[in-house]
Amino acid sequence: QVAAVRVYVNSSSENLQYPVLFVVRQQKGVLSWQVPLIFRGLYQRTYNYQEVSRTLCPTEPTPETRPADQIIFVDVASMAPFNIAYELLVTRLESFQLETNKAFNFTASPSQPQYFLYKFPQDVDSVIINVVSDAAYPCSVVSVQDIVCPVYDLDHNVEFNGVYQSMTKQAAITVQRKDFPGEQFFVVFVIKPEDYACGGSVPSSIHGNVNRTWNLQRTKNLQVTIVPSIKKSVYVQAMFFSFLGFLSFYLGSVVVAFVHYISTGMKLTVPPGSVSIAGSGMMTSSHPISASTPEGSSYGAIDESSSSGGRQLSSPERRPPAGSDTDSSVEEESDFDTMPEIESDKNIIRTKVFLYLSDLSRKDRRIVSKKYKIYFWNIITIAVFYALPVIQLVITYQTVVNVTGNQDICYYNFLCAHPLGVLSAFNNILSNVGHMMLGFLFLLIVLRRDILHRRAMEMKDIYTLDYGIPKHFGLFYAMGIALMMEGVLSACYHVCPNYSNFQFDTSFMYMIAGLCMLKLYQTRHPDINASAYSAYASFAVVISLAVLGVVFGKNDMWFWVIFSMIHVLASLALSTQIYYMGRFKI
């Protein structure tokens, strides 16, 4: 156990013009202060303390001195033309070294800071310093400093050395053995003279009293416990099982694709009198749609058997290849009656005996597909221009944290933050690997479906193309890129989460939600597609509102009133526009 010496001084004088000066000279340093001790706050406010207590830096024993010997000189002086009474008390601290997994309770104040020594056990490479208090205020600072004398343990210099963070009721700092060559460090506890650093306010009662003496009015009871952190093997296990868990989705996708390949091969060998419907079952009939229609009745439709461009489906052998582009609106003009009512009544879409769901799409699917591919290329452009400055910014944030030691820059859950290398919270970054891996898997699944669809079109496979709506994959590709970018930007946000970069974590969440809405609508409205440029512009407006909510919506009621009105009106207008699409336009 290492013992330390603590010096307590007290003076009844409140004369700031003639303070009592105390200088303590030790083997490796000089420590000095004055009484009354003055702390400065915001707007040049001053706080005076007549009782001061400081712990002297312990000296390691040398061969020339016995382990119990410490030579200390204390000089007391004042320039006052009159006598000043003071009290000086030197005590030996028996409980100066903190122990692993053992809680230690103590009291501190702005003029009576505390610090303790901790040495790493042989089998521990990383520890977590957990500090708790029953009261949120007064605001305090927890600092970890190397074994250097003097120790910076006052409000105006605690930020000069080591790693520090402010504290209300709880604080936690992870310390690694590799950061301290001597395998030991000081844990310093400083009480702030004001609470603004912890989000508190300045007491109104001292606004007009700059010479008020505080002494013991800002004391705080603290409890510190140092526990071992997770070992390196846990990092390896976490990364291994994370990647293994998400790779199992890849394996499952391969199995599903193989089963689908086998089942598709069997469907292509069915008897000629059977028709595959939507890939979900078989229905044996040579007239799948008109079987329930009364004989001789075709609902006023033109008999397609006499039309050179129509389809004759009386037997599967006579069906023309549906993989050809005969369902484009240009080539199917011959299937329309020339009555003028058809031009005005949009409910009459086809006047054919055999109507397929794909016939309800009047636009050329090649043109529509190209429009949907714009979503894919635009989101890649957005992702690159958005991600590059974000990555540069968070690297700068992390560098500033590591260089200055100010852990208040980033809002981690410090008790659960596990550092690795230069990253302060590697586990928060690792948790985003699922977005990237599953987003890439989603892209592979979409690519496979796209390739199968193109092959079916080239083979003119009637069983694939005569049923269902035209297939467009541009939005699916965009959704996959958005999911991967959500993982990248969420990881960037968790490198250094704070008030100014919160939108990094949420921007592509809005993008994913918007793309999903567009895809759900496009699934049943293949001819109606929003322009990619207007869609992404709408997403930009939504993200801008989210940023305004973070900046202005904290305590301002007017912002929420205006936002709620805009939200309700925009929702009604958009819902009406979508529901009555093609009837009228807003």
Q: Comparing 576 with 349, which gets the higher pLDDT?
A: 576
Which whole number is the average pLDDT over 54-64?
72
Query: Percent of the chain scored above 90 by pLDDT?
Result: 12
Nearby residues of 207 by Cβ (< 8 Å), 6 or more positions away: none
Q: Where is average pLDDT lowest: 32-36, 265-269, 298-302, 566-570?
A: 298-302
Q: Judging by DSSP bridges, how do beta strands 184-191 and 4-11 pair with one another? A: unpaired
Q: What is the pLDDT of residues 457-490, one digit of tens each?
A: 777 655 444 556 677 888 899 999 999 999 999 9
- 243 three-class SS: helix
Cβ atoms of residues 124 and 180 within 8 Å? no
Determine the pLDDT at residue 348.
47
Q: Is 579's pLDDT higher than 90?
A: no
Which whole number is the average pLDDT over 426-434?
88
Burial class (CB in 10 A: 0-12, 13-18, 19+), 99: middle
Which whole number is the average pLDDT over 255-274?
69
CA-to-CA distance for 189 and 166, rounded, in angstroms? 10
Residue given tokens 């586990």 in the structure block? 427
Highest mean pLDDT among 142-146, 319-323, 358-362, 422-426 belongs to 142-146
Query: Percent of the chain scored above 70 by pLDDT?
Result: 75
Distances (CA, A) of 122 to 32, 60, 227: 36, 20, 14
Nearby residues of 56 by Cβ (< 8 Å), 6 or more positions away: 4, 5, 6, 7, 24, 26, 31, 72
Determine the pLDDT at residue 480.
93
Cis peptide before 470 (omega within 30 of 0): no
Buried/exposed 341-350: b ≥16 CB within 10 Å, e otherwise: eeeeeeeeee
CA-to-CA distance for 528 and 522, rounded, in angstroms? 7
Q: Is 109's pLDDT higher than 80?
A: yes
Determine the pLDDT at residue 331.
38
CA-to-CA distance for 179 and 181, rounded, in angstroms? 6
Q: Is 311's pLDDT higher than 80?
A: no
DSSP state letters, 386-450: HHHHHHHHHHHHHHHHHHH-BTTSS---TTT---BTTBS-HHHHHTTHHHHHHHHHHHHHHHHHH
Cis peptide before 150 (omega within 30 of 0): yes
Determine the pLDDT at residue 328.
38
Amino acid at 529: N
Which whole number is the average pLDDT over 434-451?
91
Amino acid at 160: F
Q: Is 305's pLDDT higher than 60?
A: no
Q: Is 208's pLDDT higher than 60?
A: no
Q: Is 375's pLDDT higher than 90?
A: no
Q: Is 345's pLDDT higher than 90?
A: no
Cβ atoms of residues 542 and 514 within 8 Å? yes
| CA-wise closest residue to 332 among 346, 352, 312 | 352
Highest mean pLDDT among 245-259, 316-330, 525-539 belongs to 245-259
* This prediction's pTM: 0.71
Q: Is 350's pLDDT higher than 70?
A: no
Listed in order, strand segments (DSSP E) in 120-237 are 126-132, 140-145, 163-167, 170-176, 184-191, 220-228
Determine the pLDDT at residue 582.
63
Determine the pLDDT at residue 154.
87
**Phi then psi dihedrals of residue 128, to 5 deg:** -115, 125
**Phi then psi dihedrals of residue 114, to 5 deg:** -135, 145
Determine the pLDDT at residue 303.
43
Q: What phi-psi label fits residue 101: left (phi over 0), alpha (psi between -120 and 50 degrees) or beta?
A: left
Kindly indicate the confidence band of residue 235, based on its pLDDT and cuts at 50, 70 and 90.
confident
Q: What is the pLDDT of residues 20-56, one digit of tens each?
A: 889 988 877 888 888 888 888 887 788 888 888 988 8
CA-to-CA distance for 322 and 501, rounded, in angstroms? 52
Q: Which domains does the chain have, with CATH numbers?
A: 1-93 (no CATH), 97-199+217-229 (2.60.120.380), 357-554 (no CATH)
Kindly indicate the confidence band of residue 315, based on its pLDDT and cuts at 50, 70 and 90.
very low
Across the strands, what pairs with 54? 7
Amino acid at 419: P
Q: Which helix (H) or strand (E) holds 521?
A: helix 503-524
Determine the pLDDT at residue 49.
86
The angle, 0 to 180 degrees and rounded to 10, between the axes of the packed helices 503-524 and 532-552 is: 140
* Dihedral over Cα of 264, 266, 271, 277: its sign: negative
CA-to-CA distance for 147 and 151, rounded, in angstroms? 8
Q: What is the pLDDT of residues 281-295, one digit of tens each?
A: 444 433 444 434 444
Q: Where is average pLDDT lowest: 69-78, 378-387, 509-518?
A: 69-78
| CA-wise closest residue to 197 among 226, 156, 160, 163 | 156
Residue given tokens 């000296």 in the structure block? 59
Length of the chain measured in residues: 586
Determine the pLDDT at residue 131.
92
Determine the pLDDT at residue 130.
92
Determine the pLDDT at residue 214.
55
Amino acid at 117: L
Which whole number is the average pLDDT over 265-287?
46
Q: Comparing 216 with 107, which gets the higher pLDDT?
A: 107
For residue 105, what is the DSSP state? E
Determine the pLDDT at residue 474.
86
Cβ atoms of residues 63 and 109 within 8 Å? no
